[in-house]
Amino acid sequence: MSMQHTARLEPQENEPLLEVDGISIEYTTRSEGSLRAIDDLSFRVSEDEIFGLVGESGCGKSTVAKSLLGLLPNNGEVVEGDIRYRGVDLTGLSREELNEFRWEHISLISQGAMNALNPVHRISSQIIESIQAHRDVSTDEARERVAELFELVGLDPERMDDYPHQFSGGMKQRAYIAMALSLDPDLIIADEPTTALDVIVQDQILKRIKELQEDLGISMILISHDISVVAETCDRLGVMYAGKMMEYGDLKSIFGDTYNPYMLGLQNAFPTLSGEKQDLISIPGSTPDLKEISEECRFVNRCPFAEKECRTTHPPLEKVNNDHYSACYRHDDVEELRELANKREAWHQEGKL
Ligand SMILES: Nc1ncnc2c1ncn2[C@@H]1O[C@H](COP(=O)(O)OP(=O)(O)OP(=O)(O)O)[C@@H](O)[C@H]1O
Ligand SMILES: [Mg+2]
């Protein structure tokens, strides 16, 4: 192995954990040509933190997750920007090189992963296989590791030789989390890890994820369409809309001092996990079709506060607080917008462009 090869693939401890810098991702389809699903998106994930990515269905969360490990489908491509993991440029690696990275440094719990457990193999053998694909260990040693992982995620090690259908949804999700932890990665990406589960199981799993993250000192990207999930779990947050970052940074600042109309709307639209009573107000309309996206602010047609300027170009992300950024032309009027956003009437009237 040449020095150059080693340096290119060796994560450097002193470099930032993950930096995503100005990535754009396009899908090519036979009927529509190329569609830009992600446009100039940047974020970073630091040591020991849970970074949340939130936004409505179709905003591009899974596309971002897949791009980090080179797992985009064949018709998808990162056309601009850099993804650096501890100094290693992931966009410059081949699929084989990224496979080395996967599980070892970064694990992805992909959306619906728990249903992807192979029904004809015992859970233990699926995890053992993934361990032995990367590590030269005996089956007995790998079994021991599986027992340890089961304890970690709150499963009874006695059940490790069960088949997936003998597990409940919550147990399958825990088993998949165990698999993601098997090679001690520094970063875990969990794409909608609790979406298919009922609220109580969801809450238990999120608590366990948080404990694991703290106890093992790993970092995590937690993806959800549900802001109550990220609110309870994350340290920092990225709020996405139609392939763009709308609000980004410190979670407490984003929730306590919201600047972006989209985030103001989202906050009204979800019940809290703790079940607090709240008048839910949904944002009328739906996310724009990728082929209909133009230069203007992507949220303009659903935003009750839109003004003429919002029709010009999509607003740039601006710093509004320490580690807190928002993309909106109306930051100066934020107090007024916050007040209006709590009222149902505001969202159900035509914007005054
Ligand atoms: N293979 C593909 N070919 C073409 N377009 C795609 C492909 N995969 C995703 N898209 C489009 O890219 C956009 C982002 O999709 P993505 O699955 O990343 O969204 P998401 O935020 O994860 O949504 P959800 O919350 O439903 O999981 C959508 O408009 C989707 O239709
Ligand atoms: Mg998704």
pLDDT of 143: 97
Instruction: Check the CA dihedral 308-311-312-313 and report its sign.
Output: positive
Sequence spans of domains, the chain: 261-353
In the prediction, which pLDDT does 351 show? 57
Q: Is 27 in the pocket of ligand 1 (CB under 6 A)?
A: yes
For 250-282, what is each residue's pLDDT tens digit?
Answer: 999 999 999 999 999 998 877 765 666 667 778
Query: Region 129-158: what's the mean pLDDT?
Result: 94
Alpha carbon of 4 to ligand 1 centroid (Å): 36
Q: Is 169 exposed, middle or buried (0-12, 13-18, 19+ CB in 10 A)?
A: middle
- Maximum average pLDDT range among 61-65, 112-116, 292-296, 340-344: 61-65
Whether residue 5 is predicted with pLDDT greater than 60 in this model: the reply is no
Q: Which residues surround ligand 2, an ion (CB under 5 A)?
A: 61-62, 111
Q: So what's the pLDDT on residue 251? A: 97
Q: CB of 92 within 8 A of CB of 82? A: no
Look at residue 23 in the predicted model and tell me its pLDDT: 97
Separation CA 120–CA 160 (nearest Å): 14
pLDDT at 275: 60
- The confidence band for 2, taking pLDDT boundaries of 50, 70 and 90, is very low
Give residue 98 CA to ligand 1 midpoint distance, Å: 22
pLDDT of 105 over the 90 cut: yes
Is residue 37 very low, low, confident or very high in pLDDT (cuts 50, 70, 90)? very high
pLDDT at 238: 98
The whole-number average pLDDT for the span 51-63 is: 96
**Token code pair at residue 62:** 């899974």
Confidence of residue 350 (pLDDT cuts 50, 70, 90): low
More confident residue, 346 or 81: 81
Structure tokens at 24: 């754009």
Give residue 296's pLDDT.
Answer: 95
> Which string of b and e fits 188-205 if b means at least 16 CB within 10 Å?
bbbbbbbebbeeebbbeb
* Distance separating alpha carbons of residues 230 and 245, to the nearest angstrom: 16
Question: What is the whole-number distance in angstroms between the Cα of residue 290 and the centre of ligand 1?
Answer: 10
Query: How far away, in angstroms, is 283 Cα from ligand 1 center?
Result: 20
**In the block, which residue shows the tokens 């009222």?**
343
The pLDDT of residue 3 is 45
Rounded Cα–Cα distance for residues 241 and 221 (Å): 17
Among 2-6, 160-164, 185-189, 267-271, name the one with the lowest average pLDDT: 2-6
For ligand 1, atom 31, which residue shows the shortest CA distance?
Answer: 58
Q: Is the shortest distance between the CB of 62 and ligand 1 below 6 Å?
A: yes
Q: Is the pTM of this model over 0.95?
A: no
Beta bridge mates, 24? 80
- Give the pLDDT mean for 286-294: 87
Expressed in angstroms and rounded, the spacing between residue 65 Cα and the centre of ligand 1 is 11
Is there an atom of ligand 1 within 6 Å of 6 CB? Answer: no
Residue type, 321: N
pLDDT (mean) for 4-13: 72
Flag whether pLDDT at 63 surpasses 60. yes
Q: What is the dihedral of CA 265, 268, 270, 271, to 10 degrees?
A: 170
> Given pLDDT bands bounded at 50, 70 and 90, which one contains residue 6?
low
